[in-house]
Every structure is written in structure tokens, then in C-alpha cells.
């Protein structure tokens, strides 16, 4: 049963003025930044800016984090909005639960930098991390929404290039089908307070810039997923991207990948980001931390 906190959160989200998805990207970004500024970062977490091979990045280090266990995190935002700042609070909680340092990168955004810029920056960031001497067996690549799809895409790209795979991947409410063919886009539209088809279509158009929406590194449900590391996939049953997560899990399993698909009843898109008010978010983050610890143990 959903918590009272979730009910109040959904009521609050529905009460907010509707954001026009065709606003200029700069306005959408500013709005996202303003909302995220309300999410508190634990005061004892260290934030360290870093140049990740030419890509802006930040180390997020909670107290007691293992020096050699790393979460390489790719933020969400439809490939057009989002930043280190918008995801700092959630990633801090994930890294704390995992007992790991987190490296978040500011990959280039569409429409100024369309596909495959995000994949290129994510691959460069991962290679930079390994070049610092970090053991890939102690790395987990993670991301939410578009960052969840990007997590899978960059792993496919790295695998094809012969790079060492990380120990595991974590995908939170992943967006994996930019063509928008999942049935849940319609069946969950009335209960999802955060994401709707129109916004997805606009962001997909910005990111693809004319590319085929079934291009595997843009829509990784169409990619050959063999040889990828074990995956944890979280998705809420009240979100329009439910089928994106379910189909990703099905296709990964068919390719021989070990997958833990965990649908959370009544949860909304990337509910983990509301951990400061939502008990289910804290529970989900604890589960993510447990998975990361298990997969990166010596």
C-alpha cells in the first residue's frame, strides 16, 4: 500500500502549473534546476569538481566511502535538461547507501549536442575513470530516466570497442525506446503525474535530430545486449515508462544478461529523488546500495 507521503507528493505534483514541453531548452533547464535546489544534500557529503577527460564532473563522497568502489552516474532529463546539480542530492544518498564514491558527469545536452554526444561523453568519462587506476570490477554504471537508457547504451558502445566491463549496472525508470511504442505510454497516462507522451516526443526529437529512433545506441531496447554486466532495474507501476523497463529486462535476459527487474507498486517516475520526504524512496535507495555493495565486493 502506498504511503501517506506518496499520496501527498502526488497531490502536490498534480497541483503544480503544467510545464509546456515545447518551451526553449534554457527555460526547461532553469525550471528543473530551481526544483532540484529544494532537495537537500546531506551536509557531511564532500563535493569535489573534477575535469573528467574534458567533460565536467563531480566526485560525490559520503563519509566512510570506500576509495576504490565507484558509482559512475549518468543523470536523467530527456537528454535535453538535467545536470550534476539536479541530481546531486539523490546521488549522494545512493553513494552513501553503497559505501562508494560517486562520479557524476555533465554530458553534453540536446538540441545543441544531439545523439550521439551523450554516449560519446559517457564513454569518455568511463575510460577516464579506469585510466585513474580504478578497477572495473569495483565500478557500477548507473543512471535514471534518459540516464538509465544511456547507461545501457554506453555499455554496448564500450563492449563493442573492447573496453573492460564494469561489475554491474543500475537503471532507475530507464527511458529505452525513443520511438515511444510502449503500451504503458497510454495505459498509465492518467496516473503518471510526471511524464507524458508529448514531452517524451519533443525531447526525443531534440536528441535524435533526424536519426532513426530505433538506432540501438539511442534506443537500447533495439541493441544487441549480450555480454553486458548484471543489471538492477527499478521502475514504478504508475509510470508511463513502465514498458520501457520491462522490455529492456526481457531483451537483456534473452541475450543472457543477469537481470533483477524490480517493479515498485504505485511508484512514480524516479521516485528515488524524493528521498527527503518519501519512505519508499529511501527503501529503494537502500536496495540500490545493497546491490552495488554485493556486485563490487572484493
Give the residue among 263, 262, 274 at the shortest CA–CA distance from 193: 274
Cell readout for 190 is: 492518467
Please report, rounded to a whole number, the percentage of residues in the chain having pLDDT higher than 70: 99
Q: How many domains does the chain have?
A: 1
pLDDT, position 289: 98
* pLDDT at residue 111 greater than cutoff 90: yes
* pLDDT at residue 3 greater than cutoff 90: yes
Which residues are known catalytic residues? 145, 239, 269
CB 21 within 8 A of CB 56: no
pLDDT, position 21: 72
* pLDDT at residue 253 greater than cutoff 90: yes
pLDDT, position 244: 98
Beta strands of the chain (E only): which ranges? 46-52, 55-61, 66-74, 100-105, 139-144, 168-172, 231-236, 259-264
Which residue carries 554526444 as its cell?
Answer: 117
Which residue carries 569538481 as its cell?
Answer: 49
* pLDDT at residue 1 greater than cutoff 80: no
Average pLDDT estimate for 177-184: 97
* pLDDT at residue 23 greater than cutoff 80: yes
Tell me the CA distances in angstroms from 202 to 78, 106, 233, one per residue in order: 9, 21, 25
Residues 11, 15, 175: CA angle, nearest 5 degrees? 75
Q: Which of 7-21, 137-151, 269-283 has the lowest mean pLDDT?
A: 7-21
Q: Which of 2-16, 152-166, 176-190 has the lowest mean pLDDT?
A: 2-16
* pLDDT at residue 164 greater than cutoff 80: yes
Q: What is the mean pLDDT of the chain?
A: 96
* pLDDT at residue 17 greater than cutoff 90: no
Give the residue among 123, 182, 130, 180 at the shortest CA–CA distance from 156: 123
Pairing label, strands 139-144, 100-105? unpaired
pLDDT, position 2: 81
Give the residue among 298, 295, 275 at the shortest CA–CA distance from 285: 275
Encode pLDDT of 186-214 as tens digits.
999 999 999 999 999 999 999 999 999 99
For residue 173, the enclosing domain spans 4-295
Q: Check residue 31 and report its DSSP letter.
A: H
**For position 240, which CATH number holds?**
3.40.50.1820
Q: What is the rounded end-to-end Cα distance, in angstroms, of the chain?
A: 37
Which residue carries 536523467 as its cell?
Answer: 76
Whole-number Å distance between alpha carbons of 237 and 50? 37
* pLDDT at residue 292 greater than cutoff 90: yes
Strands of 139-144's sheet, edge to edge?
A: 46-52, 55-61, 100-105, 66-74, 139-144, 168-172, 231-236, 259-264
Encode pLDDT of 115-143 as tens digits.
999 999 999 999 999 999 999 999 999 99
Average pLDDT estimate for 238-245: 98
Which residue carries 565500478 as its cell?
Answer: 139
Amino acid at each position: 500500500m502506498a504511503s501517506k507521503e506518496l499520496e501527498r507528493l502526488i497531490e502536490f505534483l498534480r497541483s503544480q502549473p503544467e510545464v509546456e514541453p515545447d518551451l526553449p531548452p534554457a527555460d526547461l533547464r532553469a525550471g528543473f534546476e530551481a526544483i532540484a535546489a529544494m532537495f537537500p544534500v546531506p551536509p557531511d557529503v564532500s563535493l569535489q569538481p573534477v575535469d573528467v577527460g574534458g567533460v565536467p564532473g563531480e566526485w560525490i563522497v559520503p563519509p566512510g566511502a570506500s576509495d576504490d568502489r565507484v558509482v559512475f552516474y549518468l543523470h536523467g532529463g530527456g537528454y535535453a535538461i538535467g545536470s550534476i546539480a539536479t541530481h546531486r542530492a539523490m546521488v549522494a544518498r545512493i553513494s552513501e547507501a553503497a559505501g562508494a564514491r560517486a562520479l557524476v558527469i555533465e554530458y553534453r545536452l540536446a538540441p545543441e549536442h544531439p545523439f550521439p554526444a551523450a554516449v560519446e561523453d559517457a564513454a569518455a568519462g568511463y575510460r577516464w575513470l579506469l585510466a585513474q587506476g580504478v578497477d572495473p570490477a569495483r565500478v557500477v554504471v548507473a543512471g535514471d530516466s534518459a540516464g538509465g537508457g544511456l547507461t545501457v547504451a554506453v555499455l554496448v558502445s564500450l563492449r563493442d570497442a573492447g573496453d573492460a566491463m564494469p561489475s554491474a549496472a543500475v537503471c532507475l525508470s530507464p527511458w529505452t525506446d525513443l520511438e515511444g511504442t510502449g503500451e504503458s505510454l497510454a495505459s498509465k497516462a492518467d496516473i503518471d503525474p510526471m511524464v507524458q507522451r508529448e514531452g517524451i516526443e519533443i525531447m526525443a526529437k531534440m536528441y535524435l535530430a533526424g536519426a532513426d529512433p530505433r538506432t540501438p545506441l539511442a534506443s537500447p531496447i533495439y541493441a544487441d545486449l549480450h555480454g553486458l554486466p548484471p543489471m538492477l532495474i527499478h521502475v514504478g507501476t504508475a509510470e508511463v515508462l513502465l514498458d520501457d523497463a520491462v522490455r529492456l529486462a526481457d531483451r537483456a535476459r534473452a541475450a543472457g544478461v543477469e537481470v533483477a527487474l524490480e517493479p515498485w507498486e504505485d511508484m512514480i517516475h524516479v521516485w528515488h529523488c524524493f528521498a527527503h520526504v518519501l519512505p519508499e524512496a529511501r527503501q529503494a535507495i537502500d536496495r540500490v546500495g545493497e546491490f552495488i555493495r554485493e556486485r563490487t565486493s572484493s
